[in-house]
């Protein structure tokens, strides 16, 4: 009888240990890594008002840290980029920069929306999806 009780207790202990152990995904790792969440290549349309300027425009975000990405896009010029801080409100990530004050960028799921006001007062809008 003692042997059966011991085996049952050992089995229950093993099951409890297995059920209370979580893996990295369950612990929410990466949920506060905004950089990893938004990094990637986004392709879509670049508009000037309602006119399509480029039908296959590309914006690339590279992760620098959990709260910073580097944005590469043609409107910065050849081989130029800008760093952006990231904040999150609900399921929407917002990118902002003290040096690029005339741009608003949001990412929701795999969709990016970017509005860029040039120094000449022209508004460009990019709407694209993450590959």
CATH number at residue 56: 2.40.128
Q: 27 lies in a domain? A: no
Per-residue confidence (pLDDT) for residue 55, from 0 to 100: 87
Q: 2 lies in a domain? A: no
- Give the pLDDT mean for 58-70: 95
Q: 19 lies in a domain? A: no
Q: 38 lies in a domain? A: yes
Please give the Cα distance from 61 to 113 (Å, whole number): 13
CB 41 within 8 A of CB 57: no
Please give the Cα distance from 13 to 5 (Å, whole number): 12
Please give the Cα distance from 82 to 29 (Å, whole number): 27
Range of the domain at 124: 34-130
Give whole-number Cα distances, 47 to 23, 41, 54, 130, in Å.
Answer: 44, 18, 7, 18
Which of the four pLDDT bands, split at 50, 70 and 90, describes residue 1?
low
Q: 20 lies in a domain? A: no
Residue-wise pLDDT for 34-53, tens only, equals 999 999 999 999 999 889 98
pTM of the entire structure? 0.72
Q: Is the pLDDT of residue 104 over 70?
A: yes
Q: 40 lies in a domain? A: yes
Q: 14 lies in a domain? A: no
How many domains does the structure of the chain reveal?
1
Give whole-number Cα distances, 75 to 13, 30, 56, 66, in Å.
Answer: 61, 30, 14, 25
Q: 61 lies in a domain? A: yes
């Amino acid at each position: 009888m003692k042997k059966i009780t011991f085996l049952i207790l050992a089995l229950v202990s093993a099951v409890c240990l297995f059920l209370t152990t979580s893996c990295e995904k369950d612990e929410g790792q990466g949920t506060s890594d905004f950089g990893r969440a938004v990094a990637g290549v986004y392709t879509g349309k670049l508009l000037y008002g309602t006119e399509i300027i480029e039908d296959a425009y590309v914006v690339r975000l590279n992760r620098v840290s959990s709260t910073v990405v580097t944005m590469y896009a043609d409107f910065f010029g050849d081989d130029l980029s800008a760093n952006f801080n990231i904040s999150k409100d609900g399921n929407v990530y917002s990118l902002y920069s003290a040096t690029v004050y005339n741009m608003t960028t949001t990412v929701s799921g795999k969709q990016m929306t970017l509005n860029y006001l040039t120094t000449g007062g022209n508004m460009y809008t990019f709407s694209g999806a993450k590959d």
